[in-house]
C-alpha cells in the first residue's frame, strides 16, 4: 500500500555541519507533511510542517523542502549540534483525513 | 507546562489484565489522537476525537481497545484482556480544529508479561 518512507536509516554528521534528512512519499493525495524529532524514551517533538501548496518553509535552523513532482520531502538542519542527535520522522496526512502516516525514521548522530 | 500530558508513563501488567491510560491535551485543542509505537517503528494511528466525538478508527483498534473523551477534554484508552503483542508505547497528540500541527505527549510505555 502507499506509505511514507525514508532513504537512509542512519546519518552521521560532524558538529557544525549541515544535515539533510530525506523522505519519499507515494501518496499523491497527501496535502500536509510534518517533521518530528524523537529522543529516546520521549514522544515525537514537532519540528516544522509544510502544506502541499508550498515548496519550502524555514524555521529556526531548519528548512523543509517539498518536491511534489518526485514526491520527495527533506529536512535540512543548519549547523548541526549534539542536541540534534535523535530519530527524525516525516509524516504525511491525506487530504480529507486527520490521521498521520509515519515513516520508519532516520537516526541522526552528531559527532562532536 | 501546558503541553500534552499522559498518565501513567509506564505500566507493567500481566497478560489478560485490563489497563487504562489517560491523556490530557493542550487545553484549547479540539482534536485528540491516539497512536501506538513499537520499537524501531514510527507511530501508527489508532483513533481520533473531535471534541467528544470519535470520528476515525484504525483497523489496528481491535474490539479489545476502547477510547473515550466524554467531556471533550481528557481522553482514556482502555485495553481489555491484554496480550503480549500489546506491548508498545501509546502516544497521545492534540491539535487545533484545522488538524495541523499535532503535538504529542510523552507517551505511556506498556509492558505485558
Residue B98 — pLDDT band, cuts 50, 70, 90?
confident
What is the average pLDDT value for chain B, to the nearest integer? 95
Question: What is the Cα–Cα distance from A40 to A8, expressed in whole angstroms?
Answer: 19
Among A3-12, A93-102, B48-57, where is mean pLDDT lowest? Answer: A3-12
The pLDDT score that the predictor gives to residue A4 is 56
The pLDDT score that the predictor gives to residue B1 is 54
Share of chain A above pLDDT 70, in %: 93
The pLDDT score that the predictor gives to residue A6 is 44
The pLDDT score that the predictor gives to residue A9 is 86
Contact A92, A42 (CB under 8 A): no
Chain A: closest CA distance from residue B20 (Å): 19
Half-sphere exposure of B69 (CA within 13 A, CB side): 24
Using CA atoms, how far residue B1 sits from B27, B28, B68, B76, B105, in Å, is 11, 14, 24, 20, 11
User: Residue B39: pLDDT above 90?
Assistant: no
- Interface probe with B: pick from A32, A39, A43, most Cβ of B within 10 Å: A43
Say what the alpha-carbon torsion angle A30, A34, A37, A41 is, to the nearest 10 degrees.
-60
Grid cell listed for B75: 481522553
The pLDDT score that the predictor gives to residue A1 is 36
B100 phi/psi in degrees, rounded to 5 = -85, 150
- Which of A6, A23, A30, A5 has its CA nearest to residue A92? A30
Size of interface A-B (CB pairs under 8 A): 60
Using CA atoms, how far residue A83 sits from A17, A22, A38, in Å, is 13, 20, 11
Q: Which of residues 42-61 of A touch B (CB under 8 A)?
A: 42-46, 49, 51
Q: What is the DSSP string of A82-112?
A: GGG-EEEEEEEEETT---EEE---EEEEEE-
Question: What is the Cα–Cα distance from B110 to B58, expressed in whole angstroms?
Answer: 19
Cβ atoms within 10 Å of A63's Cβ, excluding its own: 17
Q: What is the pLDDT of residues A27-70, one digit of tens each?
A: 889 999 999 999 999 999 999 999 999 999 999 999 999 999 99
Question: What is the Cα–Cα distance from B26 to B5, expressed in whole angstroms?
Answer: 8
Place of cell 489517560: B22
Q: What is the pLDDT of residues A65-76, one digit of tens each?
A: 999 999 999 999
Using CA atoms, how far residue A18 sits from A61, A84, B37, in Å, is 9, 11, 29
Question: What is the Cα–Cα distance from B110 to B88, expressed in whole angstroms?
Answer: 5
CB contact under 8 A, B33 and A44: no
Question: What's the mean pLDDT in B87-101?
Answer: 93
Residue B59 — pLDDT band, cuts 50, 70, 90?
confident
CB contact under 8 A, A43 and B48: no
Amino acid at each position: 500500500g502507499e506509505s511514507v518512507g525514508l532513504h537512509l536509516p542512519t546519518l552521521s554528521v560532524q558538529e557544525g555541519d549541515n544535515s539533510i534528512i530525506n523522505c519519499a512519499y507515494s501518496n499523491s493525495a497527501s496535502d500536509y507533511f510534518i517533521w518530528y524529532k524523537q529522543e529516546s524514551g520521549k514522544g515525537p517533538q514537532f519540528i516544522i510542517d509544510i502544506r502541499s501548496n508550498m515548496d519550502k518553509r524555514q524555521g529556526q535552523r531548519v528548512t523543509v523542502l517539498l518536491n511534489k513532482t518526485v514526491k520527495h520531502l527533506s529536512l535540512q538542519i543548519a549547523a548541526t549540534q549534539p542536541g540534534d542527535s535523535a530519530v527524525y520522522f516525516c509524516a504525511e496526512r491525506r487530504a480529507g483525513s486527520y490521521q498521520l502516516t509515519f515513516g520508519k525514521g532516520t537516526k541522526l548522530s552528531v559527532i562532536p | 507546562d501546558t503541553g500534552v500530558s499522559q498518565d501513567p508513563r509506564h505500566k507493567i501488567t500481566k497478560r489478560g489484565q485490563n489497563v487504562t491510560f489517560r491523556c490530557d491535551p493542550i487545553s484549547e485543542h479540539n482534536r485528540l489522537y491516539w497512536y501506538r509505537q513499537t520499537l524501531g517503528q514510527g507511530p501508527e494511528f489508532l483513533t481520533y476525537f473531535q471534541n467528544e466525538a470519535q470520528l476515525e478508527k484504525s483497523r489496528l483498534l481491535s474490539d479489545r481497545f476502547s477510547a473515550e473523551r466524554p467531556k471533550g477534554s481528557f481522553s482514556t484508552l482502555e485495553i481489555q484482556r491484554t496480550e503480549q503483542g500489546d506491548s508498545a508505547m501509546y502516544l497521545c497528540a492534540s491539535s487545533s480544529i484545522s488538524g495541523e500541527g499535532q503535538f504529542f505527549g510523552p507517551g505511556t510505555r506498556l509492558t505485558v508479561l
